[in-house]
Amino acid sequence: MRAYAIDEFGKPGSVREVETPKPSEGEVLLRVRAAGVNAFDVAVVNGFAKEYMEHRFPLIPGLDGSGEVVDLGAGVDGLAVGDQVYGIAQKGYQGAGTFAEFQTFPAEGVTAKPSSIDHIGSAALPTAALTALSAVEAVDPREGRAILIIGATGGVGSYATQLAANRGSRVLAAARGEYAEYALSLGASESIDYSSPDFTGQVRARAAGGLDAIIDLSGNADTVASLLDLVRSGGFVVSAAGGVDDAALEAHGLRGGSVNRAGLDRLADPTRLVEEKQLVLPAIRTYPLEEAAAALAEQAGRHVKGKLVLTIG
């Protein structure tokens, strides 16, 4: 099979022929039609996760994929060859990812693809949508609450903005100025230029009555810290990018902390939300597998509008 793989951290890889994997017990083999690109993939190829996860070379990156089941490992029930599914190729090591024509997934790591969207759209869902669900549910959005989302137009942010707005909250979207219209289309009440030198001043002006929560998707701890006094006592501040200091939250009487992607047992939730038209796909930019290195480079720039997806076959 063809796959994009790297031979050393921090160096671009190449598309090459590698052996097609076989599903082990509890796994399914997918013919991958599209693969989502995530910030974690950038961390993997640059070696930022090597201290806490095993990495195997040549290393094929990629967590998210959408395609059809072509083989079943022993003990797999509820799935059949030909099923159209999407999910996360979660393993105990890095190197057998979805930037490939075929890949094994844990059976619990896939779910039926939404019938209303194609494989490209489905590949944009798993990690980003599940992370957004986790972050939004952690801040308990309700009618009338004001929530600042920093990084509101990226992959996770595009879903988080919709989820919070759908629950009746007033969403202040912190995003690049050129993405303001896009942020509003996702349901944000207002968009604030994150790149402005007076960003925090603009937030204070727009949220003069205070905030009920901050969702940080940028990892800029200094920016988050500078806005903690705007959050009402007992409010929430969470980060999916390591941008929260727990001690600072406690000092301000706030709840929250770091949040991670929701578990694989929640995979069917994005499907349901899409099918019920409660969630729309973000802006998607596609790259062919041969340009995987360029897609990773764009993701590394941290200014992606919506999601990047590799088209594989």
Query: Tell me, what CATH number does 162's domain have?
Result: 3.40.50.720
Considering the domain architecture, whether residues 153 and 120 belong to the same structural domain is answered as no
Of the chain, the percentage scoring pLDDT greater than 90 comes to 99
Inside any domain, residue 13: yes
Considering the domain architecture, whether residues 38 and 84 belong to the same structural domain is answered as yes
- The per-residue pLDDT for range 146-163, each reduced to its tens digit, is 999 999 999 999 999 999
> What's the whole-number average pLDDT of the chain?
97
Inside any domain, residue 210: yes
pLDDT at position 11: 95
Considering the domain architecture, whether residues 17 and 82 belong to the same structural domain is answered as yes
Considering the domain architecture, whether residues 26 and 83 belong to the same structural domain is answered as yes
Considering the domain architecture, whether residues 289 and 251 belong to the same structural domain is answered as no
Report which residue type is found at 73: G
pLDDT at position 200: 95
Inside any domain, residue 43: yes
Q: In the listed set 258, 273, 294, which residue is the last one of a domain according to the structure?
A: 258
Inside any domain, residue 276: no
* Structural element, H or E, at residue 142: none
Considering the domain architecture, whether residues 7 and 112 belong to the same structural domain is answered as yes
Considering the domain architecture, whether residues 226 and 147 belong to the same structural domain is answered as yes
Into how many domains does the chain fold? 2
- The per-residue pLDDT for range 69-114, each reduced to its tens digit, is 999 999 999 999 999 999 999 999 999 999 999 999 999 999 999 9
Q: In the listed set 258, 273, 296, which residue is the last one of a domain according to the structure?
A: 258
- The whole domain housing 173 covers 128-258
| Distance (Å, whole) CA 95 – CA 148 | 36
pLDDT at position 39: 97
Considering the domain architecture, whether residues 154 and 202 belong to the same structural domain is answered as yes
pLDDT at position 203: 97
Tokens representing residue 48 in the block? 């930022």
Considering the domain architecture, whether residues 163 and 235 belong to the same structural domain is answered as yes
Burial class (CB in 10 A: 0-12, 13-18, 19+), 208: exposed
pLDDT at position 230: 98
CATH of the domain at 295: 3.90.180.10
Considering the domain architecture, whether residues 106 and 27 belong to the same structural domain is answered as yes
Inside any domain, residue 159: yes
- The per-residue pLDDT for range 183-208, each reduced to its tens digit, is 999 999 999 999 999 999 999 999 99
Are the C-beta atoms of 128 and 155 separated by less than 8 Å?
yes
| Distance (Å, whole) CA 241 – CA 259 | 8
Considering the domain architecture, whether residues 121 and 145 belong to the same structural domain is answered as no
Inside any domain, residue 264: no
| Distance (Å, whole) CA 309 – CA 288 | 8
Inside any domain, residue 271: no
Question: Does 313 score more than 90 pLDDT?
Answer: no
Considering the domain architecture, whether residues 9 and 63 belong to the same structural domain is answered as yes
| Distance (Å, whole) CA 182 – CA 195 | 16
Inside any domain, residue 269: no
